[in-house]
Amino acid sequence: GESVGLHLPTLSVQEGDNSIINCAYSNSASDYFIWYKQESGKGPQFIIDIRSNMDKRQGQRVTVLLNKTVKHLSLQIAATQPGDSAVYFCAEIMNRDDKIIFGKGTRLHILP
């Protein structure tokens, strides 16, 4: 079915610590996964993506891990900053011309 879910609706992290946001997806045929960041009043902002033939991809301060065996996706943010406060969505696409299926999102709250 169409289901991309997140384990935790809210995550509070101390500033400077690393953040890990988790996501479970249900469609084993999905070929492409994306993490989006959405700040209040704005549209989703692309953070990082990963294809199903990879298990790890790194960007600037962010890493996405994909475990296809258990259909799990995670986003790691290093040295979390106040500007990282937002709702994070994992999303999946079955193929290039297909729609994006979003989960409900995890709100990341940064503690001073």
Interface residue list for other proteins (CB under 8 A): 4, 32, 34, 36, 41-46, 49, 89, 91, 93, 96-105
The single residue listed with the structure tokens 């999102």 is 105
Q: Shortest approach of other proteins to residue 15 CB, angstroms?
A: 25
Calculate the dihedral angle through the C-alpha atoms of 54, 56, 59, 60, rounding to the nearest 10 degrees. Answer: 180
Q: Shortest approach of other proteins to residue 104 CB, angstroms?
A: 5
Q: Shortest approach of other proteins to residue 33 CB, angstroms?
A: 10
Q: Which is nearer to other proteins, 45 or 81 (CB)?
A: 45
How many CB atoms are closer than 10 A to CB 24? 16
Q: Which is nearer to other proteins, 13 or 50 (CB)?
A: 50
Q: Which is nearer to other proteins, 42 or 112 (CB)?
A: 42
For residue 31, what are the CA distances in angstroms to 25, 40, 51, 54, 66? 12, 29, 6, 10, 11
